[in-house]
Chain A
Amino acid sequence: MAKGEPVIVDETREEFDVLVVGSGVSGGWAAKEFCEKGFRTLVIERGRLVRHRQDYPMEGVPPWKQEFGGKVPLDVAARDHAVQSQCYAFRASTRGYFGNDRELPYATAEGTTFSWIRANQLGGKSLLWARQSYRLSDHDFEANARDGEGIDWPIRYADLAPWYDHVERFAGISGSREGLPQLPDGEFQPPFEMNRPEQAVKQAVESAFPDRKVIIGRTANLTKPTELQVQLGRVVCQARSECENGCSFGANFSTQSATLPAAARTGNLHIAPNSVVHSLIHDPASNRVRGVRVIDNETLATREYFGRVVFLCASTLGSTQVLLNSASKRFPNGLGNGSGVLGRYLMDHNYNSVSRGDIPGFEDEYYKGRRPTGVYVPNFQYEPSRYRAHYKRGYALGGSAQRGGWQWGGYRDGFGAEFKAGLGRPGPWNWVFYAQGEMLPKRENRVDLHPTLTDKWGIPQLNIDIRWGENELLMMEDAAEASEAMMRAAGIENLRSDVTQKPPGLAIHEVGTARMGRDPKTSVFNGNNQAHEVPNLFCTDGSVFCSTATQNPSLTFMALTARAADFAAREMANRRL
């Protein structure tokens, strides 16, 4: 097997050093870190192989080469993607990376809805993510302890800061240094530019509201690739907006563009595709996980993989489902679930406030390229003294200024050459602010295994029971008012807001259900992402989160994974694992 290529594994009796379950943002990082440290690593992926560049069939395909101009036929969407088609990134060119809902059933408690977005292939949701990359701050790590919701995070910013440095340098995050207490700066590549109206809004908002900043979004798109990134086949972002279709330039961070090539070139990377993990094999005598039971995605045949250490990186709900389904005599309520909190404290970000308006002027201004990020207003209610009186915590705002185009042109009046010429001219500038609100950790928001329903692999379906609480609803109302106040201060006109009650899930920031903590009685994993009750079992995806904070979580998955891999490697070297 040539160096630089992963070894594809089917049946094997080899005991690997590390088994990594899942190959998305977290799994890719676990693979890279362990392979680079010299450990023989097996990545177990439930879906198909997606090869970088070769398996991006819809990249750069213009609309006139797509049968429906890029739209998905209704019958296909309804039949195969009833849930997935609710996702903002779902379209004809990305459909192949989303799961087929008929094959991925789950239950929801009566009166509740949860939209579970799935991307079951090599690379997982790293192929589809929106790339927004923000550090959590100590205000986030301390929030639970300070206002009494949930449990305290077992780590602080200082624990994670060097690992944020580490993952940012490798992944390539573009952004501006701002010196904000609630949003620590990082190892950034140059920021994307704001357009003129955005600069004007920034200036107006910041002078009218001294506690608020309008900054350019921090995104995992290369603006000044490092030598290492170039070696790995990654080049500077071309602003094509092809990210979710697959980027052959490797300009955005994905498992395919970044972590897998780094892992593969060590010669230590093995991948078992089409391997749906049914459960973990726990040996009660040694109290160690020995490996995983797998059901073949396609043939439904069963097989097992063995390793000294297991990293669960199967996504928040995926990892929790595996743990719940690994119950035994020793762990009747799910592996490592002596605390009884496994499945509890499910959270998502709340995007239910959107405000829009029209920006007068700037008629001669335009931009070039499709910027892979927007502008961002960091949470300005980041500590209890800054909370509004009627609810806890806060929200960040995403936004942008753009010129209208032909997209709504059909609703304009008129006919003939004049109407046609109008389609060819950019319309007025418009503004959008959407809130990204924190959701409080609540015990009653939970998942468990459905008592009777199973999927095609015979695995009990998750039964999801989550709803927004009063705090979340009040926050969205307030976010819309605050957004409009900022827009008004910036001279934006014709303001309109939508405060909706779309169910959790569609932020695709689901976290919690196997939280980390100091106390084995109230948490599943410790501050090193190691199961309190099973020392060679780790989990480093969103399931370990104690709170949502307001920031997009993926960068923190990366940092937690790299840190935990470092810890596990040292424990192995010291023969404690």
Chain B
Amino acid sequence: MQRRSGTPLPGADSALPDPRRRQLLQALALALGAPAAARLTAGSASLAAALSWADSPAGAEAPAEVFSETQLEILRVICAHVIPATDTPGAAELGVHRFVDHQLAHVEDAEARDQACHVLDALDGQARERRDTGFAQLAYDDQRALLEDLEAERNGFGPGEKWPFKKLKDLVVFGYCTTETGATKLLAFDPVPGGFRGSIPLESVGRAWFS
């Protein structure tokens, strides 16, 4: 498992508005004594982790556990179609296909694994039938057309492909949104909100919270 531990959050302070941050530190210092408070907010496993920055969901070049090389490549292409690179990196670049393989190997059951393999094979089969080439080798637009047919249960795809695909897509979304990039760039990640406010304008966040 690749775990690049990154640089500290640019100004851990930014997690809280400054006055609240000061208030919190003062309260902690009072409660714990200044050295303990400093340890807790700077060096402790807990808050350091809460305020730290890392990247990448899953192992970069480890061999796949569930998928063949061909299947993994198809899934990589699917990742690029589902969550492409925009102003933030896409799912394929972040290795989400490998995360999904790992997740299927350990967190999902045998049926989910079989279904995932089935839907990837079905895409490859349709590609060969239509263009006499593998799915991953199709032109981008042809890949997209096949994926759209799959979601719409048409042109050779039925519910037996659609629902396993949705499950796979859900794993892609989960894998991406739980990367550092997904959680903090596409979504808004707020490890220490400093308290709860029941009503704020959506535009003040501009994005969905990670949680």
Q: What residues of chain A have their CB less than 8 Å away from a CB belonging to chain B? A: 53, 56-57, 59-65, 67-75, 192-196, 198, 225, 230-242, 246, 248-250, 363-372, 403, 405-411, 413-417, 419-421, 423-427
- Asked whether B49 is an interface residue with its Cβ less than 8 Å from the other chain, the reply is yes
From B144, which residue of chain A is reached at the shortest CB distance?
A415
B60 → chain A, closest Cβ, in Å? Answer: 14
Least CB distance from A333 to B in Å reads 45
| Closest residue on chain B to residue A193 by CB atoms | B198
If A65-B54, A69-B99, A410-B168 are given as contacts, then 9 extra A-B residue pairs at C-beta distance below 8 Å, sorted by A number, are: A60-B46, A62-B54, A65-B52, A192-B198, A230-B27, A235-B28, A365-B200, A365-B201, A423-B83
Q: Is the CB of A53 within 8 A of B103?
A: no
Complex Cα distance A470/B170, Å? 40
Annotate B108-150 by CB proximity to A: 1 below 8 A, 0 otherwise: 1100000000000000000000000000000000001001100
B3, B40, B106: which contacts A248 (Cβ < 8 A)?
Answer: B40
Partner of B201, one of A232, A364, A427: A364
B62 at the interface (CB under 8 A from A): no
Known A-B contacts A69-B103, A406-B208, A426-B202; the reply to A62 vs B197 at CB < 8 A is: no
Residues in A whose Cβ lies below 8 Å from that of B57: 64, 69
Q: Given the complex of chains A and B, what is the CA–CA distance between A56 and B40 in angstroms?
A: 12
Looking across the interface, which residue of chain A has its beta carbon closest to that of B105?
A73
> Which residue of B86, B147, B176, B202 has the most chain A CB atoms within 10 A of its CB atom?
B202
B187 and A406 contact, CB distance less than 8 A: yes
Name the contact of B199 in the complex, choosing from A196, A235, A403 (C-beta under 8 A).
A196
Contact B186 A370 (CB under 8 A): no
- Bound-state CA distance A419–B51 (Å) is 29
B31–A234 contact, CB under 8 A? yes
Instruction: Please give, as numbers and ranges, the residues of chain A lying within 8 Å of B154 by CB-CB distance.
Output: none
Which residues of chain B (185-211) have a CB below 8 Å from chain A?
Answer: 186-187, 189-205, 207-211
Does any Cβ of A come within 8 Å of B179's Cβ?
yes
| Minimum Cβ distance to chain A for residue B148 (Å) | 7
Identify the B interface with A (CB < 8 A): 1, 3, 24, 27-28, 30-32, 40, 44-47, 49-52, 54-57, 81-84, 86, 90, 99, 102-103, 106-109, 144, 147-148, 151, 166-180, 183, 186-187, 189-205, 207-211
The contact sample of 20 A-B pairs, CB cut-off 8 A, is: A63-B183, A196-B198, A198-B198, A230-B30, A233-B31, A233-B32, A238-B194, A239-B193, A364-B202, A365-B199, A366-B202, A367-B200, A405-B209, A406-B208, A407-B174, A410-B169, A415-B144, A426-B207, A426-B208, A427-B208
The smallest beta-carbon distance between B144 and chain A, in angstroms, is 6
Q: Which residues of A contact B45 (CB under 8 A)?
A: 57, 59
Determine the chain B residues whose CB is within 8 A of the CB of A234 once the complex forms. 31
Which residues of chain B are near A64, meaning CB under 8 Å?
54-57, 178-180, 183
| A239 and B211 alpha carbons, distance in the complex (Å) | 11
**Complex partner residue of A368 from B187, B190, B208, CB under 8 angstroms:** B190
Q: Are A365 and B195 in contact (CB-based, < 8 A)?
A: no
Q: Report if A69-B31 is in contact (Cβ < 8 Å); known contacts: A195-B199, A365-B202.
A: no
Q: Is the CB of A239 within 8 A of B183?
A: no
What residues on A are CB-neighbors of B196 within 8 Å?
192-193, 237, 239, 367-372
Distance A236 CA – B20 CA, assembled complex (angstroms): 11
The distance from the CB of B163 to the nearest CB of chain A, in whole angstroms, is: 9
Closest-CB distance, A550 to chain B (whole angstroms): 25
Please tell me if the beta carbons of B86 and A59 are within 8 angstroms of each other in the complex: no
Identify which of A69, A194, A250, A416 contacts B84 (C-beta below 8 A).
Answer: A416
Query: Are the C-beta atoms of A406 and B173 separated by less than 8 Å?
Result: yes
Query: What residues of chain A lie closer than 8 Å to B31, measured between beta carbons?
Result: 230-235, 250
- Minimum Cβ distance to chain B for residue A516 (Å): 38
Nearest CB of chain B from residue A361's CB, rounded to whole Å: 13
Residue of B nearest to A409 (CB): B173
Q: Which residues of A contact B198 (CB under 8 A)?
A: 192-196, 198, 367, 371
From known contacts A53-B40, A69-B57, infer whether A193 and B106 are also in contact, taking CB-CB under 8 Å: no
Instruction: Determine if B103 and A71 form an interchain contact, defined as CB atoms under 8 angstroms apart.
Output: yes
Complex partner residue of A413 from B44, B86, B151, CB under 8 angstroms: B151
Contact partner of B202 (CB less than 8 A), chosen from A248, A363, A369, is A363
Q: Which 4 pairs of residues, A with B, have the shortest CB-CB distance?
A: A410-B170, A60-B50, A193-B198, A369-B193
In the complex, which of the residues B24, B46, B168 contacts A59, with contact meaning CB atoms closer than 8 Å? B46
Q: State the CA gap A232–B179 with chains docked (Å).
A: 37
By beta carbon, the residue of chain A nearest B16 is: A238
Chain B residue with Cβ nearest A196: B199
Query: Are B173 and A62 touching (Cβ within 8 A)?
Result: no
Most chain A Cβ neighbours within 10 Å, of B47, B51, B52, B174: B174
Contact B46 A74 (CB under 8 A): no
- Contacts A196-B198, A238-B195 given; does A420 touch B183 at CB 8 Å: no
Complex Cα distance, B192 from A320, in Å, reads: 41
Bound form: Cα–Cα A68–B178 in Å: 9
B106, A65: Cβ atoms closer than 8 Å: no
A69 adjacent to B178 (CB under 8 Å)? yes
> Provided the pairs A63-B178, A64-B178, A74-B109 are in contact, do residues A368 and B28 lie with their beta carbons within 8 angstroms?
no
Separation of A425 and B28 alpha carbons in the complex (Å):
35
CA distance A545 to B81 in the complex (A): 58
CA–CA, A555 to B194, complex, Å? Answer: 26
Tell which of B46, B176, B190 touches A369, judged by Cβ atoms closer than 8 Å.
Answer: B190
By a CB distance below 8 angstroms, the chain B residues around A236 are 24, 27, 195
Find B203's partner among A193, A246, A364 (CB 8 Å cutoff): A364
- With A64-B178, A416-B84 already in contact, the answer to whether A237 and B195 are too (CB < 8 A) is yes
B47–A60 touching, CB < 8 Å? yes
Residues of B close to A417: CB separation below 8 A? 84, 86
**Of A59, A235, A366, the contact of B50 (CB 8 Å cutoff):** A59
In Å, the complex CA distance between A56 and B48 comes to 13
Measured in the bound complex, the distance between the Cα atoms of B172 and A56 in whole Å is: 30
For A238, what are the chain B residues with a Cβ–Cβ distance below 8 Å?
24, 192-195
CB contact between B193 and one of A194, A370, A414 (< 8 Å): that residue: A370
Beyond A69-B178, A233-B32, whether A239 also contacts B195 by CB under 8 A is: yes
Minimum CB–CB distance from B36 to chain A (whole Å) comes to 8
Residues of B within 8 A of A67 (CB): 1, 102
Across the interface, name the chain A residue whose C-beta is closest to B185: A424
**Most B CB within 10 A of own CB, among A365, A369, A406, A407:** A406
B residues less than 8 Å from A415 (CB atoms): 81-82, 144, 147-148
Flag if B199 contacts A62 (CB, 8 Å).
no
A124 to B1, CA, bound (A): 33
Point out which of B109, B175, B204, B209 has the most chain A C-beta atoms below 10 A from its C-beta.
B209
Q: CB < 8 Å: which of B171, B186, B191 contacts A240? A: B191
Taking CB as reference atom, which chain A residue is nearest B39? Answer: A53
Residues of B within 8 A of A198 (CB): 198
| A74: B residues at CB distance < 8 A | 106-109
Set of chain A residues within 8 Å of B207, measured between Cβ atoms: 424-426
Q: How far is the CB of B188 from chain A (nearest CB, A)?
A: 9
> A403, B208: Cβ atoms under 8 Å?
yes
Q: Are the C-beta atoms of B49 and A62 separated by less than 8 Å?
A: yes
Which residues of A have CB within 8 Å of B177?
Answer: 406, 409, 423
Query: Across the interface, which residues of A come within 8 angstroms of B168, CB to CB?
Result: 410
